[in-house]
Structure 1
Amino acid sequence: MKYAQAVREIYALQEFAIKLGLENISALSSRLGNPHLKYSVIHLAGTNGKGSTAFFIHALLQAHGLKSGLFTSPHLSDYRERIRVNDEFINKDFIAEFWLQNKDFILQKKATFFDTSTAMAFKYFADMNVDVAVIETGLGGRLDSTNIVRPQMVVLTPIDFDHQKQLGNTLASIAREKAGIIKNGAPVFCAPQKQEALTVFLQHIQRPDQFNYLTDLAAYRILESSLDGMRFEVQFKKTSEKHCFRTSQTADFQAQNITLALVAGRAYLESQRLAWSEEKTQQALLNGLWPGRLQTVRKVPRVIFDVSHNPAGIIRTLSFVKRKAPEHKIHLLIGLLEHKDHKEVVNFLSRQNMNIYLTEPQSIKKLAVGKLADAFIKKGKSVHIYPDPVEAVQKILNRIKKDELLIVMGSHYLIGYLINEFSENPEYSFY
């Protein structure tokens, strides 16, 4: 009961609007004894792929014997997913005790949900005596709550348009906010970027040898790719080594995220005088499943859950599925949050030859299904409306054929809610 109540009250902090800035997290961390300074940190920012990249860096370090902490957001079905040490989610009793001890201070400061979660992660990692923590930014970078860390390494994933209200309306302004995590002369490992973003990142580099661009370090080649997994080859350019890996992650664009994770993770191991092992790396990739990323949750008819939520991610994901399943008729169930650029998403989807169903994520920030429907109607695209996500999936599955395909996407809140609901419903045997 203490845990459930604590999580309910922590969720209630979401009533405070997004408030970028380091004042509250600095005060909270000071109160806790600045736990974020007691272990090494690998800090990640970007628009797409940062959660996946963080997860695979974490898995790689753990496979090589390090005690690794991982902080990511948002979660899918359990708040504790955000904070883990090796394979274990944060302890429920720790959450309850942390809230009990710091609740009054947090409410007095009007600290946000993310401030609180970040401080909790910092403290938990210190108490668990981790060797290293892989920390993903929440929104932006420069003023993100995580940006009080002193990273030993910085990782930048591809930059695209998202959260323009907070980060700006150009790639340069968005990149400038993300680049705020570059500091201390720490080595930076950067995914391929559009030139506008790359130019900004290079302006933040203190010395040439600090910046490590993925295309200069490694090349990857996809050998096999399907909706059930992938086999790919990575060549490390410095040593000319070539290694083949398998992963249950299906999307071919995940090969870039994983390659970035391998390059950064291997560099960190070497900085700690630890030998990199191909066998341990392969084990990490086989054992590690980052759920909700083109995840097949049912085979017949095939149902895929995906958390893509901004225009670039949605376009990339749907393009991949159409390439890999050209013979399948595609049905799409989508629900978005209010602050997302739904007009660009609607513009793209209205041109697609697929049946589109609209629903609402389980969030106070949801985009009303009626508003989304109006946008499609203005484009001349007919849609089906099911405000309740569970009813939506049930109705769609009752009408589609066994050789057809359903993709559900648009928000972590939507996918997480459905994972919880259907994992407990044997009628749909999703797992």
Structure 2
Amino acid sequence: MERGVEWDFEPTLDRIKVLLELLGEPQRAYPIIHIAGTNGKTSTARLTEALLRERNLRVGRYTSPHLVTMRERIVVDGKPLSEERFAELYEEIIPYVEMTDAGGRRIQFFELLTAMAYAGFADAPVDVAVIETGMGGSWDATNAADGTVAVITPISLDHTDRLGKDIASIAGEKAGIIKPGATAILAQQELEAAEVLMRRVAETGAVVAREGLEFGVMSREVAMGGQLLTLRGLKGVYEEVYLPLYGAHQASNAVCALAAVEALTGGDEPLDVDLVRQAFATASSPGRLEVVRRGPTVVIDAAHNPGGMQATLEGLHESFDFTKVIGVVAVMRDKDVETLLELLEPVLAEIVVTTNSSPRSMPAEELGGLAEGFFGEERVHVVPRLDDALDRGIAIADAEGEFSGTGVLVTGSVVTAGDARLLLKKGEE
């Protein structure tokens, strides 16, 4: 049954609320940690899940988009739904979807997946669900549920055609997940975003905790394969916490996850420090400064907007001692492509521009034309197919010599990262 495409939809909660009502309000069967923001949502969701699971709770995690398979989006007990369970869940809810359709409210693609997640988590059943918004907040399908804890990761410009042309407008949309009686966990924000979020907190009477004030990263040093952190949570200080993820942005994601779990558990006692260490030491965030190959080192990253790309490049510089970086880049045509290229230019010695598997991907020739304006013709290679582009990028790095310190960065989109991950044989986690 045709449900349209994920990125083209009518913003309203009317349809999903009717469907969930027909399903018996499954989203009310468990407490929810709800996560919105421009960058860092999926990593924060995975880190939050890791902490909760380490406390022996059964956790449902719903994130988007996926890297390799749609089933990655709906996770129970740390594992994506099996093909059989995914199909079974679809078959279980489709009669209710058709009833909603018949009432003149045609359920759209992301709404269907969200209903499947909420119903699947109730059926499992889970002790707690970690839910990432798809886009925005106020009218995002996930917002038909009320989060006990609302986490807002850093807000920057993205989806401006949908969410607004400035930071304040985007923050206003994302603030919609903060509900009366909730606890709002706010990552460090630009001033315009912080003001809007704090107004929402005041309007709802939510309890607020802000990174850098009520909680934060106290110290951080680069360690083999990641970083060593001292984190100040809402209820205590957690020292010698190893995080196998790169960059200051991941340390921020980790402390936001920590504060969210502390807020959910209630009381004044801090979490067990060994539990926190164990949870974070085994955490992963596929497609986020992830090393997928050695000799030469190939790093993939899902950065697709200026805020995300800035964080990625800072993390790359801090955590990898590359003498030279070759870029393999494919982007969506509706993104701020010129700013992405402007940010990449000082970092990349050469850039291989290509396309990913999405119909929204900018054609390689068009991206190449834009790239030449920043890099000059000599540094730009146009290779239409991603598999060939990966081969070209690796070949350029190889030609520098085994001990040259040249690395390859594959970036520009979540789809690019997922496609590259599959092609380079990392597969599904």
- Is the TM-score greater than 0.5? yes
Match of 2:325 in 1: 330
Contact 1:222 1:255 (8 Å CA) reproduced: no
Match of 2:110 in 1: 114
Match of 2:67 in 1: 76
Q: Is 1:169 aligned to 2:169, yes or no?
A: no
Match of 1:282 in 2: 277
Q: Is 1:33 aligned to 2:24, yes or no?
A: yes
**Worse-superposed segment, 242-251 or 316-325:** 316-325
Deviation digits for residues 283-305 of structure 1 (CA, Å, limit 9, x no counterpart) = 11111211111011112211101
Q: Which amino acid aligns with 1:23?
A: D
Q: Which amino acid aligns with 2:422?
A: N
Q: Is 1:320 aligned to 2:294, yes or no?
A: no
Deviation digits for residues 109-151 of structure 1 (CA, Å, limit 9, x no counterpart) = 4422211111100000000011110111010000000001121
After TM superposition, the structure 1 = structure 2 runs for residues 12-23 of structure 1, keeping only pairs within 5 Å, are 13-14=4-5, 17-23=8-14
Contact 2:246 2:319 (8 Å CA) reproduced: no
Match of 1:53 in 2: 44
Equivalent residue in structure 1 for 2:132, among 130, 136, 139:
136
Q: Which amino acid aligns with 2:211?
A: L
CA spacing shift, 1:375–1:424, aligned 2, 3 Å: closer
Equivalent residue in structure 2 for 1:246, among 236, 242, 265:
242
Can you give the 5+ residue segments of structure 2 that lack an aligned partner in the other structure? none
SS of aligned partner of 2:328: strand
SS of aligned partner of 2:424: helix
Instruction: Report how far residue 19 of structure 1 moved.
Output: 2.5
Match of 1:4 in 2: none
Instruction: Report how far residue 162 of structure 1 moved.
Output: 0.5
Equivalent residue in structure 2 for 1:366, among 361, 365, 388:
361
**Worse-superposed segment, 329-338 or 377-386:** 377-386
Deviation digits for residues 7-59 of structure 1 (CA, Å, limit 9, x no counterpart) = xx68x742782322112211221222111111111111101111111111111
SS of aligned partner of 1:204: helix
Equivalent residue in structure 1 for 2:409, among 396, 407, 410:
407
SS of aligned partner of 1:39: coil
Instruction: Report how far residue 322 of structure 1 moved.
Output: 2.7
Match of 1:66 in 2: 57
Match of 1:3 in 2: none
CA spacing shift, 1:237–1:355, aligned 2, 3 Å: same
Instruction: Report how far residue 104 of structure 1 moved.
Output: 6.4
**Worse-superposed segment, 352-361 or 102-111:** 102-111
Q: TM-score when scaled to structure 1? A: 0.90
SS of aligned partner of 2:420: helix
Instruction: Report how far residue 93 of structure 1 moved.
Output: 2.2
Instruction: Report how far residue 184 of structure 1 moved.
Output: 2.2
After TM superposition, the structure 1 = structure 2 runs for residues 222-237 of structure 1, keeping only pairs within 5 Å, are 222-225=219-222, 228-236=225-233
Aligned-partner Cα distance in 2 for 1:87–1:16 = 27
Can you give the 5+ residue segments of structure 1 that lack an aligned partner in the other structure? 1-8, 426-430
SS of aligned partner of 1:169: coil
CA spacing shift, 1:143–1:15, aligned 2, 3 Å: closer
Aligned-partner Cα distance in 2 for 1:406–1:184 = 47
Q: Which amino acid aligns with 1:45?
A: A
Contact 2:209 2:215 (8 Å CA) reproduced: no
Instruction: Report how far residue 90 of structure 1 moved.
Output: 1.6
SS of aligned partner of 1:14: coil
Q: Which amino acid aligns with 1:245?
A: V
Contact 1:25 1:119 (8 Å CA) reproduced: yes
Q: Is 1:217 aligned to 2:219, yes or no?
A: no
Q: Which amino acid aligns with 1:147?
A: N
Aligned-partner Cα distance in 1 for 2:426–2:395 = 19
Q: Output the aligned Cα RMSD.
A: 2.4
Aligned-partner Cα distance in 2 for 1:359–1:392 = 6
Deviation digits for residues 255-285 of structure 1 (CA, Å, limit 9, x no counterpart) = 11101111111221235x9872111111111
Q: Which amino acid aligns with 2:42?
A: G
Equivalent residue in structure 2 for 1:191, among 184, 187, 193:
187
Match of 1:394 in 2: 391
Aligned-partner Cα distance in 2 for 1:424–1:261 = 26
